[in-house]
Amino acid sequence: MRNRATVGVILPLIVLGLGTAVRPAAAEVGASGTRLVLPGGHPRFYMTYGHVDELELYAPIIPELKRLGISFQPQGDNYAVIFRGNKVAEWQVLRSREDVPETAEDPYVLVMGGNVFVPVRALAQRFSLDVKLQKNDNLVALVPKPVKPGKAPTAVAQLPPAAGQVTLQGVEVRQVAGAVQVRVRSSAPVTPKWITVKAPLPVRIALDFPNSRWADGVQLPAPMGDVQNFRIGMPDTKTARLVFEVPSVQVKVTNVNITQEGIEASIGQGSEAKLATLDPEVRKILDALSRRQSSGTKVTGLAGNRGSLDDPLTIDPDAQPVIPVDPPKPTVEHLKPLVVTPAVSLVGKTICVDAGHGGHSSGAKGEDNLEKDLCLQMCLSLQRELEQRGARVIMTRDTDVFVSLEGRCIIANQANADLFISIHLNSTPTRNSASGTETYWHTPQSQRLARALHRRVVGSFKGEDRGIRNRAFYVIRNTDMPSVLLEIGFINNKNDEALLAQGVFQSRLAESLTKGVLDFFGKDVQGSPAE
């Protein structure tokens, strides 16, 4: 990280300076509206971007940060982070939430609609605050890390490891069958995750080990094969990172093996290795899928799922990739002529229907409704309509429960679904400022499905056609089948919300989406697959 020495001296002072009156900073969970209280302050409602399912939550809290001695000053395309007159960091500015890469190594500041949104988690890390989710109270808490009286402040990078933290003791390499096999010796088993960073060059693969630290004096091996350089570091106090510099994005992590003595990773050209973790309730859904008989027994999300990730399980490594694919540049496509002979039946087709949010993740908020509730109602109507046409329907949830984004993808992939349809509702910082339907796809196989469904939704909703867009949203990026995410309408638009809550409209929408699915599986007038 930049300016590590300066940060080590001044960051803990924020905790000392707030003294015994420090209170946790807490945020009520919500994708568009969040109540946030900073240490020593009072709860305030903010329009935010992101939610606890994602890696970061962005909030316009710069004015309130000033009383803590923290300010943000624009410097070209960046913002300088200032603490008590000293520059402690510099964060790049982005103008769109979708432009923030999920694999980002550095924090970003969002500037949208005349407001500046700062990354709450990155801010907490920078200023020695812990971010904790209080699920029972639907709160996200920023808790100051304790500093023992009489001791000088300690730099974040030099904090002692937490109890049970894994120590990485060394790195060894060898050439095996055209690949570089890297072995990391560790004091206990640890499951890594990895990302590929394409820019700036050189291309790098970063292997992150959670709850781990590097032992003192670790010696790195010389370059070998496709690994042109090795580096190690600690991106935060609980994560150890091993970086490989490679010649191109064709070089990947092709295999990972975890043992009691360490981790072995193969680096070379070939298919990407895949890992997945999931909570016990998702495991139950997958077990039910595996027991399902050919009689067509319906398998849906389970009631009582609280989305606990305290005891994650590792499943079939072919279940779901960890490494995201960098999204293409955003495009917007509007309705184009499409003439098809629709399919007449969905017998033999498996369709995964995903109701956005759920449980503590309420999603966007309208005057009278929450996104999670309306999405579930629409998806239950869609389930009934698809089943009447003979489809086998897999619901990622059929009650008000939380299922992680990763878990939703795993459910769809393990079910070998033919299609994945995720339903959400849109929102804007200003009420009644937008209306209409947007549809998102990411993989090339999904574009035709997006076109087939979008036209039907626009016709049913009778709102503005806001276009078909390519975005790298998690659930449509990490599912193996044609997948789309539909933003049916804007919940914070009075007219949209009133229509979305009507049972008659929800039934009409289900019929329209089912017709779109039949269009997708149908033929165009020349007899080739519908385009």
User: By percentage, how much of the chain surpasses pLDDT 70?
Assistant: 67
Taking the CA atoms of residue 384, residue 411, residue 400 and residue 28 in that order, the dihedral angle to the nearest 10 degrees is -140
Residue 166 has pLDDT above 90, yes or no: no
Same domain, 373 and 458: yes
pLDDT at 144: 67
The span from the CA of 501 to the CA of 163, in Å, is 49
With bands split at pLDDT 50, 70 and 90, how would you rate the model's confidence at 405?
confident
Q: Which residue has the higher pLDDT, 407 or 137?
A: 407
Domain of 436 in residue numbering reads as: 278-304+331-524
pLDDT of 120-143, one tens digit each? 888 887 777 767 665 555 556 666
Residue 423 near residue 402, CB atoms below 8 Å? no
Q: What is the pLDDT of residues 189-219, one digit of tens each?
A: 777 888 888 777 788 888 888 888 898 888 8
* Residue at 159 is within a domain: no
Whether residues 299 and 178 share a domain: the answer is no
421 neighbors 352 (Cβ within 8 angstroms): yes
**CA 50 – CA 97 distance, rounded (Å):** 8
Residue 437 lies in a domain: yes
Look at residue 418 in the predicted model and tell me its pLDDT.
94
Instruction: Answer yes or no: is 160 within a domain.
Output: no
| pLDDT tens column, 227-264 | 888 888 888 788 888 999 988 888 888 888 776 677 88
3-state secondary structure of 285: helix
For residues 264 and 282, membership in a common domain is answered with no
Between 156 and 10, where is the model more confident?
Answer: 10
End-of-domain residue from the set 221, 251, 269? 269
Residue 162 in domain: no
Same domain? 139 vs 18 = yes
For residues 377 and 448, membership in a common domain is answered with: yes
Give the domain-ending residue among 224, 242, 269. Answer: 269
Q: What is the DSSP letter of 327?
A: P
Task: DSSP letter for 224, please.
Answer: B
pLDDT at 29: 44
Q: How far apart are CA 502 and CA 189, in angstroms?
A: 52
Residue 351 DSSP code: E
* Residue 510 predicted with pLDDT over 50: yes
Give the per-residue pLDDT at 7: 39
310 inside domain: no
Please check whether residue 320 lies inside any domain of the structure.
no
Would residue 323 count as lying in a domain?
A: no
CATH of the domain at 253: 2.60.40.3500
Mean pLDDT of 408-432: 89
Quick check: is 298 in a domain? yes
My answer on whether 428 and 453 are in the same domain is yes
Give the CATH number, domain containing residue 472: 3.40.630.40
**Domain count of the fold of the chain:** 3
**pLDDT at site 132:** 66
- Where residue 301 falls among pLDDT bands split at 50, 70, 90? very low
pLDDT at residue 154 greater than cutoff 50: no
Regarding whether 195 and 79 lie in a shared domain, the answer is: no
> What pLDDT, on a 0 to 100 scale, did the predictor assign at position 425?
93
Note the pLDDT of residue 55. Answer: 65
Does residue 98 sit in the same domain as residue 182? no
Judge if 14 and 103 occupy the same domain. yes
Q: Are residues 292 and 411 in the same domain?
A: yes
Whether the predicted pLDDT of 54 surpasses 70? no
Residue 316 burial (CB count, 10 A)? 13
Residue 293 has pLDDT above 60, yes or no: no
Q: Which of 89, 112, 146 is the last residue of a domain?
A: 146
Peptide bond just before 200 cis, omega within 30 deg:
yes
Please indicate, yes or no, whether residues 466 and 500 belong to a single structural domain of this protein: yes
- Taking residues 264-281, report their average pLDDT: 68
Residue 24 has pLDDT above 70, yes or no: no
- Range scoring the smallest mean pLDDT among 106-115, 237-246, 470-479, 510-519: 106-115
Give yes or no: residues 54 and 132 share one domain: yes
Q: Give the lowest-confidence range in 134-138, 297-301, 413-417.
A: 297-301
For the chain, give the percent of residues with pLDDT over 90: 22
- pLDDT at position 403 is 87
pLDDT band of residue 334 (cuts 50, 70, 90) is: low
**pLDDT reading at 357 higher than 80:** yes
